[in-house]
């Protein structure tokens, strides 16, 4: 496995592979890798001749300095996991390689980014779409793999790739969960034992909401029930609990016809102390 830190070295390796007509898949991460990230690598290995993983804790997507300062970093363990998973190349840039002095361009998607995490974390989505665009240009892959756990991010990146003619297939990989259905996340490492026991409530609530909606319950009613269960379980605050379209994130409510509602997902973000957890679940499972 090659490890490179500069765009120049990255491009040199990638252009050699392109000359040899090798298909390239990329998996972008912020490190602190777990089985969720490795499922993206597995998907990329299956579809491509070469797999690139990137590790970059992107300062521009953190709306909260404490979150950035405490974001878990474990590069040696990450590199071992990527090597064991069969990654060919890891791109591990420093911040000034990604944003050199004078850097001033932002890639921002239209209205789809104004809801969910875009509404509750100012600047976050622009930070994500900007860095992902840069990494897509730098790695010029045939396919790029994103987790459905960050569903809004996945849809926005599909939009960017299409709108900017980046000529890459953006592929969404299903969420990997713990045995108790908590979605794997690097931030789970920060949970106390007590918080960890509370965290799976998000899955219980979103999956129950999906069941109830399929059975014909009213949206307002089930969302109100869900908010109460989340807060009663010990979560400190809810950023959102909503049902939105999987296609364009349009808000779906009781006025919407039922067919639309069945093409929706439950989206949730909530805080346990200083840790913000997100998840989502399709209505029609
Ligand atoms: P992150 O390092 O958290 O920025 O995540 C890097 C990539 O891994 C993103 O595409 C995430 O959506 C994806 N990812 C994170 N957690 C999971 C999970 N539990 N299951 C599947 N993919 C995930």
Query: Could you list the pLDDT tens digit for every one of the 285 residues in the chain?
Result: 999 999 999 999 999 999 999 999 999 999 999 999 999 999 999 999 999 999 999 999 998 888 899 888 999 999 999 999 999 999 999 999 999 999 999 999 998 999 999 998 888 999 999 999 999 999 999 999 999 999 999 999 999 999 999 999 999 999 999 999 999 999 999 999 999 999 999 999 999 999 999 999 999 999 999 999 999 999 999 999 999 999 999 999 876 677 888 889 999 999 999 999 999 999 986
- pLDDT of amino acid 82: 98
Contacts (Cβ under 8 Å, ≥6 apart) of 285: 207, 210
Query: Residue 271 belongs to what H/E stretch?
Result: strand 264-272
pLDDT of residue 256: 67
Point out the residues that are catalytic.
37
**Whose Cα sits closest to atom 17 in ligand 1?**
36
Question: Which residue has the least CA distance to atom 6 on ligand 1?
Answer: 29
CB atoms within 10 A of CB 36: 19
Strands across the sheet containing 237-245: 237-245, 264-272, 275-282
CA distance 38 to 184: 11
Atom of ligand 1 nearest to the CA of 32: 2
- Contact status, residue 251 vs residue 244, Cβ threshold 8 Å: yes
Task: Give Cα 161 distance to the centre of its chain.
Answer: 16
pTM value?
A: 0.96
Q: CA-CA distance, 33 to 13, in Å (whole number)?
A: 24
**By the 8 A CB rule, do 107 and 126 touch?**
yes
The Cα 11–Cα 117 span in angstroms is: 33
pLDDT at 102: 97
Residue nearest to atom 10 of ligand 1 (CA): 146
Residue 276: name the closest of 64, 9, 22 by CA.
Answer: 64
Report the separation in Å between the CA atom of 178 and the middle of ligand 1, taken as the mean of its atom positions. Answer: 14
> What's the confidence (pLDDT) of residue 148?
98
Q: Ligand 1: which of 31, 37, 57 to mutate, judged by most atoms within 8 Å of the beta carbon?
A: 37
> CA end-to-end span of the chain, whole Å?
38
Residue bearing tokens 């991010």: 153
Given ligand 1 and candidates 39, 150, 280, which is best to mutate, with the most ligand atoms within 8 Å of its CB? 150
| Alpha carbon distance 218, 139 (integer Å) | 46
- How many CB atoms sit inside 10 A of residue 217's CB? 13
188 within ligand 1 shell (Cβ under 6 A): no
CA 204/CA 241 separation, integer angstroms: 13
Q: φ, ψ for residue 239 (rounded to 5)?
A: -80, -45
Predicted local distance difference test score (pLDDT) of residue 259: 80
């Amino acid at each position: 496995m090659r490890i490179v830190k500069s765009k120049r070295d990255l491009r040199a390796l990638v252009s050699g592979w392109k000359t040899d007509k090798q298909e390239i898949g990329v998996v972008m991460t912020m490190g602190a890798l777990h089985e969720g990230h490795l499922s993206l690598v597995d998907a990329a290995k299956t579809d491509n001749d070469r797999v690139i993983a990137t590790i970059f804790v992107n300062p521009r997507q953190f709306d909260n300095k404490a979150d950035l300062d405490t974001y878990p970093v474990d590069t040696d363990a990450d590199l071992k996991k990527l090597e064991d998973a069969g990654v060919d190349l890891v791109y591990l840039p420093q911040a000034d390689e990604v944003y050199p002095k004078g850097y001033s361009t932002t890639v921002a998607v239209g209205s789809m980014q104004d809801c969910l995490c875009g509404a509750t974390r100012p600047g976050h989505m622009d930070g994500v779409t900007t860095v992902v665009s840069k990494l897509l240009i730098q790695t010029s892959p045939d396919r790029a793999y994103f987790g459905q756990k960050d569903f809004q991010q996945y849809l926005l990146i599909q939009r960017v790739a299409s709108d900017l003619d980046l000529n890459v297939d953006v592929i969404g990989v299903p969420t990997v969960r713990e045995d108790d259905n908590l979605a794997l996340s690097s931030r789970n490492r920060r949970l106390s034992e007590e918080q960890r026991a509370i965290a799976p409530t998000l899955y219980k609530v979103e999956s129950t909401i999906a069941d109830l909606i399929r059975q014909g319950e009213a949206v307002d009613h089930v969302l109100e029930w869900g908010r109460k269960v989340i807060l009663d379980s010990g979560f400190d605050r809810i950023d959102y609990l909503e049902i939105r379209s999987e296609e364009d994130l349009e808000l779906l409510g009781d006025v919407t016809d039922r067919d639309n509602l069945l093409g929706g997902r439950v989206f949730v973000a909530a805080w346990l102390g200083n840790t913000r957890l997100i998840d989502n679940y399709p209505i029609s499972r």
